[in-house]
Amino acid sequence: MHKNLLETVSFGTNVRQPHRLHAVTMCSVLNGIRDGGINDLDWSKRVDLIRKLPFDSKSQKDAKLSLPFFTPAGTFRVGRNDALLRHAGQICMDLDDLNPDQSRAVMNTALDDEHCLAAFRSVRLRGVHLILKVPQCSSEQHSKIVFPHAARYVRDTYGYEVDFKCRNVCRASFVSYDTRILVYPRATPLEIDLSAPAWQEPQLAPARRCPVVAGPSLPAQAPTKLNFGHVGAFHLGTCCGPHRFKPDGTHYTHQSLFQLGKRIAMLVCKQALSKADTSRLINEAFAGWIAEARRSKHPLRGEDSEYRQELGKIVRSSVKRKGIARAVATWTQWTRHAEFPSDGDPEKRLLFAIRNHCEARRTKVFFIGCRDAAVIAGVRSTKTSAKLLRDLRRRKILSRSLDGICVPPRPKRHAQRYRFLG
């Protein structure tokens, strides 16, 4: 048996009791993940049950905590960074929020990775765990030197960002059940200079910030075209700007671009914008996004043109998704109804849509946002549609009280929940 599989790690059966650990070999752990258990300890049925629960629900999270765990970095006296007994010369890198195709692509890449000791799918099947060979090091070197290099290697090789919590040397990984686990016993360590200066964690910007500059919005071509209300395209870009940073101090960009692209795709579908108007909208929103990124004074890894091209791809692919079309048509479909009062006043138009929506869904409870209400009512401002909804509540046509319980309002940019009393 190769020496890589004889490295010892700490193993525990209850993550809430990090002091109850014992040493096992990596061979035992990897065989257990493949077979669903070690000796008399079987977790395959528990993993199957967890995968059947609603994703990211409280019940699924609580059930996951009942699984055994191991510390891939080495053996510990207790589950703390300062209690490392011996480093195993390896690090576990978690790639989260992957769909089945992305997980399959990561596993295929791991097949050709000479530094990857093992790769297996996570407990909830929404990610992949990569165990990479690295030089043996101290606890501080693991988090400040080894992890940044390994994270950069994973990003360049696999194309995904790593969970930042993996930098902790005592980071525990729950066992999984994957009969297709990949194991390469002869994996070689990454070339990392442990004498290099330790990486200094950058000062993070606030998670949420209010943009202080908002550029002009695109001019409206018609009452139903380019209706952004009080949020301009530049302002939308700044709101979706990147505010999280990688270990090397550069921005995390993909998630913020993806959120901005979905928002733009919703606007394109709702207002049936032409290619020219869509391009102008993307350009102005991207200008806000890039301005927000520059304002933090942290560098971007790529060129501006690369991010603009990525945003365009996200918008084009999102527009083609059936889910976007269904979400857009939830309310706007009633404006195409044969009996829709196109010549009526805003209140009559909005009540027609609400009444038909409730009849179609067979419920009196619904969600509607100010932007959808503005499109249906034919008004140019979300402030006007918000005032119209408030007036319907004042006149007891709509209510936020559900079963006698007054539901607190959600943030203004979110759809609100109402009960139709008419």
Residues 176 and 271 in one domain: no
Residues 381 and 267 in one domain: no
Confidence of residue 412 (pLDDT cuts 50, 70, 90): low
- Among residues 360, 330, 356, 220, which one has the least CA distance to residue 281? 220
Look at residue 197 and tell me if it is in a domain: no
- DSSP state, residue 167: G
Residue that is last in its domain, among 280, 299, 320: 320
Look at residue 115 and tell me if it is in a domain: yes
pLDDT of residue 43: 94
Tally the domains of the chain: 3
Q: 3-class DSSP state for residue 39?
A: coil
* Section 35-59 average pLDDT: 91
Residues 287 and 347 in one domain: no
pTM: 0.51
pLDDT of residue 407: 52
Q: To the nearest whole number, what is the mean pLDDT of the chain? A: 83
pLDDT of residue 414: 67
Q: Let me know if 304 is exposed, middle or buried by CB neighbors in 10 A (0-12, 13-18, 19+).
A: middle
Give the list of residues 6+ apart from residue 323 with CB closer than 8 angstroms, or none: none
Q: What is the pLDDT of residues 100-147, one digit of tens each?
A: 888 998 999 998 899 999 999 999 998 999 999 999 999 889 988 999
CATH number at residue 359: 1.10.10
Q: Which amino acid is at 69?
A: F
Look at residue 188 and tell me if it is in a domain: no
Residues 297 and 410 in one domain: no
What is the C-alpha separation between 303 and 72, in angstroms, rounded?
Answer: 36
Look at residue 227 and tell me if it is in a domain: no
Look at residue 244 and tell me if it is in a domain: yes
Residue that is last in its domain, among 156, 183, 210: 183
Instruction: Kindly give the pairing relationship between strand 74-76 and strand 84-87.
Output: antiparallel
Among the ranges given (71-80, 108-117, 220-229), the one the predictor scored with the smallest mean pLDDT: 220-229
Residues 338 and 302 in one domain: no
Question: Given 3-state DSSP classes, what are the helix, strand and coil percentages for the chain, each rounded to the nearest 5?
Answer: 45, 15, 40
Residues 24 and 158 in one domain: yes
Look at residue 199 and tell me if it is in a domain: no
Asked whether the predicted pLDDT for residue 202 surpasses 50, the reply is: no
Q: What is the pLDDT of residues 279-290, one digit of tens each?
A: 888 988 898 888
pLDDT of residue 413: 58
- DSSP state, residue 1: -
Asked whether the predicted pLDDT for residue 240 surpasses 70, the reply is: yes
- Structural domain span for residue 254: 233-320
Residues 389 and 315 in one domain: no
What is the C-alpha separation between 189 and 92, in angstroms, rounded?
Answer: 13
Residues 52 and 118 in one domain: yes
Name the one residue in this structure whose structure tokens are 């530049």.
234
Residues 160 and 285 in one domain: no
Q: How is residue 159 written in tokens?
A: 């194309």
Look at residue 221 and tell me if it is in a domain: no
Contact 314, 263 (CB under 8 A): no
Q: What is the pLDDT of residues 337-386, one digit of tens each?
A: 889 998 889 999 999 999 999 998 888 888 888 878 888 888 877 888 88
- Among residues 84, 62, 79, which one has the least CA distance to residue 17? 79
Q: 3-class DSSP state for residue 290?
A: helix
Residues 348 and 264 in one domain: no
Q: 3-class DSSP state for residue 217?
A: coil
Residue that is last in its domain, among 145, 164, 183: 183
Q: 3-class DSSP state for residue 90?
A: strand
Q: How is residue 162 written in tokens?
A: 């790593």
Look at residue 191 and tell me if it is in a domain: no
Asked whether the predicted pLDDT for residue 400 surpasses 90, the reply is: no
Residues 177 and 43 in one domain: yes
Name the one residue in this structure whose structure tokens are 């696999």.
158
Residues 58 and 143 in one domain: yes
